[in-house]
C-alpha cells in the first residue's frame, strides 16, 4: 500500500464540506466514519491518479527549471519568485483536479458500502466528534473483495 497523502487530504476536505450541508439525523439513524488516508491507499484508482499527478507536476517543474535557467538569480529575483509561485499554484490545481477525479470514482463505492452495511451516513474521520462507528477496516475489506479478489 502506498501513501497518497496529497489525494486523501483534499478528498477529506471535500467530504467534510459536503457533509456539513446534510440534514440532522432521524430516529434509528446510523453513521460510520472512514479514515480517508487509509481508504485512498487501498483504492485501485488512487495509484494511477497519483502517477498522473506526479507526472504532470514533474513537467511543471521541468518547465520552471528551464525558464529559471534563463534568468539571473540576483537581477531577476522577483521574476524567479513569481515563477515559483506560479509553479506552486499550478501544482495545487493539478492536485485538486486529481482529488476531484478520485472522489468521483470512489463515490459509487461509498454508496454501495453504505447500503450494504446499513449505514445512513458515511463521514470522514476528521468530521466526527462522537457518535459514529469507525468503519475503515470494513470499507477496506469491501474494496479488497470488490477489486482484488
Q: What is the pLDDT of residues 6-41, one digit of tens each?
A: 665 566 555 554 444 344 444 578 999 999 989 999
What pLDDT digit, counting tens, does each position of 133-148 carry?
899 999 999 999 999 9
For the chain, percent of residues with pLDDT exceeding 70: 82
Annotate the chain with DSSP letters as a single string.
----HHHHHHHHHHHHHHHHTSPPP-TT--EEEE-HHHHHHH-HHHHHHHHHHHHHHHHHHHHHHHHHHTS-TTTTHHHHHHHHHHHHHHHHHHHHHHHHHHHHHHHHHHHHHHHHHT-SEEEEGGG-SSS-EE-HHHHHHHHHHHHH-
pLDDT at 25: 46
Lowest mean pLDDT across 3-7, 111-115, 128-132:
3-7
Lowest mean pLDDT across 19-33, 60-74, 78-92, 130-144:
19-33
pLDDT at 7: 60
Domains delineated in the chain: 5-148 (3.30.910.20)
Better-predicted residue by pLDDT, 11 or 80:
80
- The answer on pLDDT for 95 being more than 60 is yes
pLDDT at 17: 43
pLDDT at 14: 54
Amino acid at each position: 500500500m502506498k501513501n497518497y497523502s496529497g489525494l486523501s487530504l483534499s478528498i477529506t476536505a471535500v467530504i467534510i464540506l459536503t457533509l456539513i450541508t446534510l440534514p440532522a439525523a432521524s430516529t434509528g439513524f446510523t453513521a460510520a466514519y472512514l479514515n480517508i488516508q487509509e481508504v485512498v491507499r487501498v483504492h485501485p484508482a488512487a495509484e494511477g491518479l497519483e502517477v498522473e499527478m506526479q507526472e504532470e507536476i514533474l513537467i511543471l517543474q521541468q518547465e520552471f527549471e528551464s525558464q529559471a535557467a534563463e534568468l539571473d538569480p540576483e537581477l531577476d529575483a522577483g521574476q524567479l519568485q513569481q515563477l515559483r509561485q506560479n509553479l506552486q499554484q499550478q501544482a495545487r490545481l493539478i492536485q485538486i483536479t486529481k482529488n476531484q477525479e478520485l472522489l468521483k470514482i470512489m463515490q459509487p463505492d461509498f454508496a454501495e458500502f453504505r447500503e450494504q452495511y446499513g449505514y445512513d451516513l458515511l463521514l470522514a474521520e476528521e468530521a466526527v466528534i462522537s457518535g459514529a462507528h469507525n468503519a475503515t477496516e470494513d470499507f477496506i475489506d469491501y474494496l479488497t473483495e470488490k477489486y482484488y479478489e
